[in-house]
Chain A
Amino acid sequence: MRYLPLTSDDRQAMLAKIGVRHIDDLFKDVPKADLNPEINLPKRQSEMAVERQLSTLAAKNTSAGSVPFFVGAGAYKHHVPATVDHMIQRGEFLTAYTPYQPEIAQGTLQYLFEFQTLVAQLTGMDVANASMYDGSTATAEAVMMARRVTRKKRAVIAGSVHAHYRAVVETTTQFTDDNIVCQAPNPADAGAELQAALDAIDDTTSCVVVQNPGINGSVLDLGPVAEAAHAHKALLIVVVTEVMSLGLIKSPGEMGADIVVGEGQSIGNGLNFGGPYLGLFATNQKYVRQMPGRLCGKTVDAEGEQGFVLTLSTREQHIRREKATSNICTNSGLCSLAFTVHMSLLGEKGLRQLARVNHKRACDLRDALTAAGFEVLNSSFFNEITVRLSKGATDVVETLAADGVLAGVPMERLYPGQGFDDHLILAATETVTDEDIAVLVSKLTEAVQ
């Protein structure tokens, strides 16, 4: 077996050194009846054979880059520069462990420090952690953190928050006495949707969770919600599922957010069928000790040289055990490296340009759809809009998929049985061409006839 270096002679010599005759003498603590069970699975295969088998499976999928592609709703198709993937495949990054030995992990630690700074800058907050699993688990962690900070239990989840994120918050808190108030989405009137969240805040509220851009794509000023939340000593948690939007739209920090969580996949990371992704978590300095997850901090070594270490770890499970702020251990290290490399290439200038291109593409899409007589529900958006069709969106999407166009996400898939079966969410990033838009609009027109 190509990954196993020991030879038969080695094994014999080592067993002799240990003082046993047979390898199973080392497994003597396993109940005899249960040792070496018959397992009906295939035998070892060559690299070429494995590659052939997996390539066959891969070929059964329609990849985003091979068709006109408008699918978003929490994961976005962006161009990732070749440099990013090359860098994250360097063995010193790829095969490193969590940097608990800082003397031989300054590479990881320095990019984490850079990553934390970038996330703080983008979100407009003081500090960010070294990442979470994904945007949804970061959101759940934020709700629990708000409870620790405010010592209140009622969380208001606005209708703009992604259905799956809501579900993760509900799952995660189901065995606590938290009271999670989930509001219905209102894609036809995003302003009313936001007002409903604002109206639901009361003195028992720990936090109000709002997504911007919302699940239907709308972009709103969250200032009034921040004011209302703070008036009731509640925190404003802002969810950002499309981090690219922060290159064009006022940051949540500027709008008064207390915690910003998000999905960082759009920068540096591929679609990967939903994972691994990159949970972002940022907050203000005064809440730092209530934050979940790893933090990297600056310090000096014994010779006074600047260096970095994981810090404030008394919040974490390996020290605090059952009193930890979270049970999280592993995070999304390599995905945060991809993010950092991509951001280092983009810089503020590239990010702003790219964000504008995204918005322009979505404007083009909106214009083309409107011209063809479709009803676009958004008055504001970044790179994603919601359209009301004259028939069920699920069937329309299937028809277009069979015809080589991946048209978007039917809202019905995210909110089954809630009256949105004719709603379709479409994203247009920099990867979408004029021709893609023309093909989409013409096929959509055909499909709704």
Chain B
Amino acid sequence: MSMNTQGRPTAPVAGSVADGTSEMTPVFESFSGHRGLRLFEPLIFELGSTETTGVDVDEAGDFEMSIGDLERTAEIGCPGLPEPDAVRHFTRLSRRNYGIDMGVFPLGSCTMKHNPRLNEKMARLPGFADIHPLQPTSSVQGALELMDQLSHWICSLTGMPAVALSPKAGAHGELCGVMAIRAALEARGDAREVVLCPESAHGTNPATAAFCGYKVKSIPAKGNGRVDLDALIEALDDTVAAVMITNPNTCGLFETEVKDISDAVHKAGAFFYCDGANFNAIMGKARPGDLGVDAMHLNLHKTFSTPHGGGGPGSGPVVFSDALKDFAPLPYVTMSEGERALHEWSDEKGQSLGRLTAFHGQMGMYVRALSYMLSHGVDGIRQAAEDAVLNANYVLASLQDIMSASYGGPCMHEALFDDAFLKDTGVTTLDFAKAMIDEGYHPMTMYFPLVVHGAMLIEPTETESKYNMDQFIRSMRGLAETAVAGETARFEGAPYFAPWKRLDETQAARQPVLRYSPPEPDQK
């Protein structure tokens, strides 16, 4: 026989840390600072040097510059890395993150659904990615046609006559919507002062209303998690400009009296702004236009699968009713004699609220969202909403015997629990959420909405299989049972298995260190 003399044992040695028969936590530190696949990675400022570059740039040579006397001579301090090191740096960093690609991401109100890679490929076609916003419109007819097609899909799905694509994110869309409302009221000479928001509203709602110069008044919720219609009617007088309501609402419930709400709002001469953050539950199933909505933003990065990207970029198109559509922001696409153009400035008669962003909005997101819509088709979109609602109700049905559901079902696309089931256990919603990290999940949304105590808002989305749901539910039941049984050890210091333990947010806020500074020369 031919002998492989490189043979070595491949089963764990008994009694080592590796086979679990002894203490799992090693008592030594590595010499490198790495811990196997958990690789230590310093800041680029600690790695690179200002003398290094990872790109090959031509030398400009000597020439007479025309920048006045303003050449930058002092060191800037930005380090460069050779390309291999740069790739490694960011790859190592990426491995410290949790993303949808890694597992269930049940973050309520955020719709963390699968991000199809076809969308990414389409957005990178040079005909979309490599065109300039100020090229002559004759050279970007395909881009304008895409904006038109996306607008058609959005208007058809929402049952609204017009859409403004340009807002850059949900909050920017809200700003656009409330500004249109104020512009419309001022155009009819009707100064109003107040915007009504439910207690359960996203923080952006009151912030937006205040931004537009309105006073914010809160309206209470009823015991069933819906807006208190009587209280709303009571508050609706001729000083109220608008009511901002999320539907489905932030408790994951459909506002059953939505048409009574819109009737009352309109009767009072006010406008109905709907926060469309939760449109995923009803797309293809119900149209805001049929429910009396005057303005609503959509989050393309929630409902229409464009990536969240670790906090943006988003995209927040706003749909408008007939009463508001003339006040839509600039620019918008127009069509005449078979050629599309961009209307970029108001004419004298124009009632547009004005320009909200430097150019035409988030084209990269438009391509991705349209790619998603075309892929699903209207039938797939309806199916997606149904599956999202089904998955959420499956969670609710599977956990409500052990965790405290805040309201009776059915819910829409997310299920809301509170911390009543944790009462007297010493375990908080935060502890519970951090223990989910040890289970391999991103925590649900916690402490929001504010209307229930210690809220836990779970939104599985439609892109989770039954297998994934069952695994997730098993973990959640295990955690709930453990907590209720008073076995709190796994909660107290959670997460134990995450690459970082709980971080000191107090120190970060008390002595903010917001940038790297080189160590003082006299220090080590």
Contact = CB atoms under 8 A, between A and B. Distances in A.
B121 to A, nearest CB: 7
Given A73-B134, A353-B57, A380-B68, A117 B362 contact: no
B54 A380 contact: no
B384 A4 contact: yes
**Of A17, A19, A20, A101, most B-chain CB atoms within 10 Å:** A101
A176 B255 CA distance: 33
B158 to A, nearest CB: 10
Interface stretch (B227-235, B367-375, B476-484): B367-375
Contact of A4 (B95, B126, B380): B380
A435 interface: no
Contact of A71 (B134, B387, B509): B134
A449 interface: no
B454 interface: no
Contacts of A35: 285-286
A117 B45 contact: yes
B127 A59 contact: yes
A446 interface: no
Interface in B466-524: 466, 468-469, 493, 495, 498-505, 507-509, 512-516
Given A220-B68, A274-B133, A106 B53 contact: no
B290 interface: yes
B77 interface: yes
Interface stretch (A197-205, A229-237, A303-311): A303-311
B264 interface: no
List the 3 closest A-B pairs by CB distance, nearest first.
A347-B80, A274-B359, A58-B127
B140 A62 contact: yes
B146 to A, nearest CB: 5
A28 interface: yes
Contacts of A57: 127-128, 142-143, 145-146, 149
Interface in B48-101: 48-55, 57-61, 63-81, 83, 86-87, 89-91, 93-101
A297 B510 CA distance: 11
Interface string A65-102: 11001010111010001010111111111111111011
Interface in B325-367: 329-330, 344-345, 353-365, 367
A154 B356 CA distance: 20
A324 interface: yes
A6 B466 contact: yes
B196 to A, nearest CB: 12
A18 interface: yes
B4 interface: no
A366 interface: yes
**Of A60, A381, A409, most B-chain CB atoms within 10 Å:** A60
A168 B394 contact: no
Interface stretch (A145-153, A181-189, A244-252, A437-445): A244-252
Contacts, number: 723
6 contacts: A10-B466, A45-B375, A105-B96, A106-B96, A295-B514, A331-B312
Contacts of A214: none
Nearest to A366: B66
> How many of chain B's residues touch chain A, expressed as a range?
35 or more
Given A23-B390, A95-B307, A271 B132 contact: yes
A99 B355 contact: no
B156 interface: yes
A40 B156 contact: yes
B138 A401 contact: yes
B515 A113 contact: yes
Contact of B437 (A25, A71, A104, A273): A104
A377 to B, nearest CB: 12
Interface string B115-144: 110101111111111111111101111110
Interface string A304-340: 0101110110101111111110111111111101001
Interface string B412-445: 1000000000000000000001100100001100
Interface in B242-297: 253-256, 258-259, 282, 284-287, 290-291
**Of A51, A53, A57, A324, most B-chain CB atoms within 10 Å:** A57
Contacts of B330: 167
Given A111-B93, A272-B363, A288-B512, A39 B371 contact: no
A30 interface: yes
Contacts of B61: 360
Given A96-B97, A275-B357, A81 B130 contact: no
Contact of B363 (A10, A273, A316, A318): A273
Contact of B282 (A30, A97, A103, A108): A30
Interface in B135-182: 135-136, 138-143, 145-146, 149, 153, 156-157, 159, 168-172, 174-175, 179, 182
Contacts of A266: none
A375 to B, nearest CB: 16
Contact of A93 (B309, B383, B390): B309
Contacts of B89: 344
Nearest to A245: B67
A238 interface: no
Contact of A120 (B64, B203, B212, B515): B515
A64 B130 CA distance: 6
Given A332-B313, A344-B79, A106 B515 contact: no
B361 A87 contact: no
B216 interface: yes
Given A6-B387, A91-B100, A54 B311 contact: no
Contacts of A135: 358
B213 interface: yes
A333 B310 contact: yes
A134 B168 contact: yes
B496 to A, nearest CB: 10
B514 A116 contact: yes
B358 A334 contact: no
A380 B309 CA distance: 39
Contacts of A85: 124
Given A4-B383, A74-B133, A302-B493, 4 more contacts: A93-B90, A164-B358, A312-B509, A333-B309
